[in-house]
Amino acid sequence: MTTVAEILMLVGGLIALLAGIGLLRFETNYARFHAAGKASPVAFLVTALGASSQLGWEGTASLAITTAAMILTLPVGVHLLFRAVHRTTPGTHLRVDELAPAERAAGLRRGSEP
């Protein structure tokens, strides 16, 4: 069981490392949020799964609550970051932007978008 736990924690660490590399490697804010927002809950989930087999009922219960809270709240946080970036920076790299006309119609200011 220890070996399985160690492998799971190693995999979790590797996913977190990949998310970190993604933050540096991707060129746009949106793509960076994808790296941070998708990989980190999985990294936490896998690491927690490995750790819970070593921590017993008390530790597992805490990790289960923390994991549930993270999976439920992180997507909302990522969504707010996406929205903030869209409203404040020009999205010239976007091939399609169907939100911009709706924001302009609602009078929401955007960065220096033409």
d(CA 75, CA 40): 11
Residues engaged in binding another protein (CB under 8 A): 15, 18-19, 21-22, 25-28, 30-31, 33-35, 37-39, 41-42, 45, 57-59, 61-62, 64-65, 71-72, 75-76, 78-79, 82-83, 86, 91, 93-100, 102-103
Give Cα 27 distance to the centre of its chain: 16
What does the DSSP 8-state code read for residue 27?
A: S
- Tell me whether residue 5 or residue 38 sits nearer to another protein (CB atom): 38
Closest separation between CB of residue 3 and another protein, Å?
22
**Tally of CA atoms within 13 A in the half-sphere of 53 that contains its CB:** 14
Minimum gap (Å) between residue 35 Cβ and another protein: 6
From the CB of residue 49, how many other CB atoms can be counted at a distance below 10 Å?
A: 18
